[in-house]
Structure 1
Amino acid sequence: MRRTLEDTYRHKGLRKKLVEVIKEKGITDEAVLETMNAIPRHFFLDSAFDDVAYEDRAFPIGEGQTISQPYTVAYQTQLLEVRPGQKVLEIGTGSAYQAVVLAKMGVKVFTIERQKNLFEENKKFAYLKQFPFIKFFYGDGYQGLPTYAPFDRVLITAAAPEVPQKLLDQLKPGGMMVIPVGTGSIQQMKRIWKQADGTIKEEVFDHFSFVPMLTGKN
């Protein structure tokens, strides 16, 4: 991948407009909006996408994966209600854009990618060296990271047919998971709360379209 790692006034202006767009679509969390305004999204894409990097849409990043639509990133992050110092498990690193959004908000991110090529690409991505609180793992997202559990938050950035029990088990009592659930081309965003007594409370939100969450490694 050929990257542009220069953040010009033009890029900053386009980013500001993008943040206005996602605000108009209903994102109200100022911390989320400020964070996304601070992150150069074009760094995460091939330089061929430089002119369109700040459009509110997903783009391919290879291996059949995408960098999510900015509105989707903002939506999931807002639902996650993170606080500085929390431990967050992310399933599906992809471009690492979502991981950086979370890290900029002061949380410790543990992120798993099942595609070896994407995992290796992120190891070479110089910008990510600024974020020592992001820990990258190559593995099967369905297994989570039991060694590092429990987590305050779990964020799944791919469509699961159902809520994975192993990931629920790695959530702290009082913790919360945000996950798109469904087997078709459209999924329902859900927020799952693990109560102090271990019981589960589920909230249902809008419909989205994600790539499927697959088992194993590739």
Structure 2
Amino acid sequence: MATGSDESVNSATETSKNEASTMSTRDSTLVVSRAGEGMTDEGSHMIRLRDALQKTVKKCLEAGRYSTFGRSYYFAHEKRPEALRSIREQFLENLESSIQKELELMIDEEGLVKLFNELDQHIQDAPTQLTKPAWRPSGDPVEDSRAHLIQPKLREKERLEHLLDQIEQENKRLHQAVLPRKQHLLDTKQKITEKMKTFDRAAAACRKIPEDEMEEMSATLSGAI
């Protein structure tokens, strides 16, 4: 009985060492596999998520140590321990492969790479120093709600100011476009006024001629025709 107990302890110790070596090799293989896929477009937050998922998978797989299999399948451990170890390794490999496929499918379906990259970009674009202290609740619900409601109103004010600036710029452009036309109309009016003065002088000269002379000139012209 003592000899069997010692053998079990030695076997468990050796198995634990083999499991640790196998898990380390599997993790290294996983890292190399992810690097081989060319994930160079992923930001820091996505890389951290993958690292966290990898550690979670590792913890889950550690639960499948050989000692657990040996206790559950004691008859196989006693008669064919090498076969049981081989079955365990195949089981863990298939389980890890299935988990990794499910995780990749989830990442693709949810678009996590794009979302985390956008998060990285927002963090990068955010100001590193605030120009004023960040908002803190005062304890007065009315004041706190006003502090939140004022933000949309300020954004609307900025939008309206921008719109007003655009309208003013458009009015200025139209005014600049109307000026040449207005000047052209003034020049045309001036020319018409000059022409009218000529006609006015002719009419004034005609009024100075006596009526009988006008009739005589009209008759002469009629006879000549």
- Rg (Cα) greater in structure: 2
RCO greater where, 1 or 2, for CA within 8 Å and sep 6 or more? 2
Shared fold, TM over 0.5: no
* Normalised TM-score (structure 1): 0.23
> Would you tell me which structure has more strand in proportion to its own residues?
1
Structure with greater proportional helix content: 2
